[in-house]
Amino acid sequence: MIELINRATNFANRTAIVSNQTAFTYQQLLNASAAIAHHLLNGAKDLAETRVVFLVPPSFEYVATQWAIWRAGGITVPLCTLHPLPALQYVIEDTDAAILVVSPEYKDLLALLAKERKMRLLLITDLMDGSTSDLPAVALDRRAMILYTSGTTNLPKGVVTTHQNIQFQIETLVNAWEWEQADHILNILPLHHVHGIINVLSCALWSGACCEFLPKFDATKVWQKLSGGQLTLFMAVPTIYFKLIAFWEAASSEEKERLSQGVKALRLMVSGSAALPVPVLEQWKAISTHTLLERYGMTEIGMALSNAYRTERRPGHVGLPLPGVQIRLVDTDGKDVKETGEPGEIQIKGPNVFKEYWRKPKATEEAYIDGWFKSGDVAIFNNGMFKILGRDSVDIIKSGGYKISALEIEDVLRRHPKIKECAVVGIPDKEWGEVVAASLISDDKNLDFDAIKQWLKELLPTYKIPRKFIIQAELPRNTLGKVTKKVLKAEFE
């Protein structure tokens, strides 16, 4: 029996999900997922790892579908409601899925593709009729979910996790962040990524807590929830906090006071999925009294590092390994980094680490060395905590023999009074290998780049100062708010 679902029987009458302003109990979730599982099985005893793709907005129906696929013995493949048809088609074809479950509003979008691929196309509204049948026993070592990498450097890969991987990822976070039945969290994150699925939704349901959905981000509604007295936790990406800060700053003095007093009541606020600029952390602390808890994870590993819940949370750092997770830093020669402050690639071992890339044995093999998963992210161990310098392929700029962290330069640029946001990339250069280039978001369209360089000389060594600048209205981002640096590089090139 899948323990996440088995535990729900202990919380039968508690509210599990609030969706579309309606509360649903754990028993209703068990009943709905059992009915959907019956229809998925369609007379079979076990889906036996059949891939089931589903396009359902964040809602009670989403959760019931996810649980139903697991209970029927299938592999969940959640699709992103914001992705265009070609991106959805890529996932459907790559997983060779046999069943497609959709909300009515997406039927026309995918009906032709389903017909061409001879898939069973099921409307979620037709599946929750109370039907029941015997459900299979599902072993922990079975494949449970395929999530796709963001594909910032090449085609997205399907990351396969087992029920065992998922259970470990949930349990370690529940313990580290002290989840309990009384918790109530607002989920505004995409549900085709680990952050929304594991850190928020699954941790809440494992604990007997309540997960509330908003169909899409709306700063007014989020602030209403944050200051309304019900929520105990909130997790978001840095761009969300940036937008919430902007909303607060535009409010009246009386409204600012009311919002700040309300948000203080939460017990934990977390930021992840992208680097949190230190100025954003400091602004949020001034508004809310909360020091945002930063952590480090990725699709292949769930969460691996976290700042402490009860003790020090150091700005710009991601803390220490979660219990049961092993971390090491390795230099370019493949040797363990021994010196404090020396950069190295993060490599990970533990029950949290994924099983394989879907039908890509060579890519899976290349992702490991001596049993350690190679993250591609570069970090330092600094005064007892890890600090992420960036992703080797996009955030580490190799210029004139130096390895330069784009994230470090971004943190400095954000301190300039005329710069609201920025992103730094490396642009190919015959002489230097790469040169540092910065995209700036500013209300001053006549920003003096030479003056910016002079200002930077007081804060950075010369080799880290950008040689190229552009001003943009906004930075290119994916659905999780991460800057798509491959797209940004093309703007310079």
| pLDDT value for 274 | 81
- With b for 16 or more beta-carbon neighbours within 10 A and e for fewer, the 16-34 pattern comes to bbbbeeeebbbebbbbbbb
| pLDDT value for 76 | 98
Beta carbons of 424 and 404 less than 8 angstroms apart: no
CA distance 429 to 298: 31
| pLDDT value for 431 | 78
Per-domain residue ranges for the chain?
396-492
Query: Is 151 a residue whose pLDDT tops 80?
Result: no
CA distance 87 to 66: 20
Look up tokens 């020396």; give the residue: 342
Helix (H, G, I), strand (E, B) or coil at 15: strand
Query: Is 381 a residue whose pLDDT tops 90?
Result: yes
Query: Is 413 a residue whose pLDDT tops 70?
Result: yes
| pLDDT value for 1 | 66
- Residues 444-471 pLDDT 10s: 989 999 999 999 999 988 889 999 999 9
| pLDDT value for 482 | 86
Average pLDDT of the residues in 218-226: 97
Average pLDDT of the residues in 178-188: 98
Residue 13 in tokens: 């009458």
The three-point CA angle 254-247-444 to 5° equals 120
The sign one gets for the Cα dihedral 7, 2, 186, 282 is positive
Beta carbons of 404 and 463 less than 8 angstroms apart: yes
CA distance 325 to 23: 36
| pLDDT value for 299 | 95
Q: Find residue 160's DSSP bridge partners.
A: 146, 356
Residue 90 in tokens: 């890529």
Beta carbons of 146 and 53 less than 8 angstroms apart: no
| pLDDT value for 154 | 64
Look up tokens 């579309």; give the residue: 20
Cβ-in-10-Å burial (0-12, 13-18, 19+) of 137 comes to exposed
CA distance 23 to 468: 53
- Residues 113-133 pLDDT 10s: 999 999 999 999 999 999 999
| pLDDT value for 55 | 98
pLDDT band, residue 156 (cuts 50/70/90): confident
Residue 161 identity: T
Average pLDDT of the residues in 71-91: 94
| pLDDT value for 144 | 98
Alpha helices in 251-373, H assignment, sequence order: 253-263, 278-288, 361-366
Tell which wins on pLDDT, 169 or 479: 169
- Residues 297-311 pLDDT 10s: 999 999 999 999 999
Query: Is 396 a residue whose pLDDT tops 60?
Result: yes
Average pLDDT of the residues in 435-447: 94
| pLDDT value for 39 | 98
Among 404, 405, 349, 341, which residue's Cα sits nearest to residue 374? 349
Among 315, 308, 488, 491, which residue's Cα sits nearest to residue 415? 315
Query: Is 152 a residue whose pLDDT tops 60?
Result: no
CA distance 129 to 32: 8
- Residues 259-272 pLDDT 10s: 999 999 999 999 99
CA distance 383 to 340: 8
Question: Whole-prediction pTM value?
Answer: 0.89
Among 400, 403, 465, which residue's Cα sits nearest to residue 431? 400
CATH code for residues 396-492: 3.30.300.30
Q: Taking all residues of the chain, what is their mean pLDDT, rounded to a whole number?
A: 94
Q: Find residue 187's DSSP bridge partners.
A: 213
CA distance 248 to 319: 29
Tell which wins on pLDDT, 261 or 403: 261
| 387 Cβ contact partners less than 8 Å away, ≥ 6 residues apart | 316, 317, 318, 379, 380, 381
- Residues 29-46 pLDDT 10s: 999 999 999 999 999 999
CA distance 67 to 85: 25
- Residues 322-349 pLDDT 10s: 999 999 999 988 899 977 789 999 999 9
Residue 162 in tokens: 């087992």
Beta carbons of 280 and 422 less than 8 angstroms apart: no
Tell which wins on pLDDT, 82 or 118: 118
Among 6, 162, 128, 109, which residue's Cα sits nearest to residue 60? 128
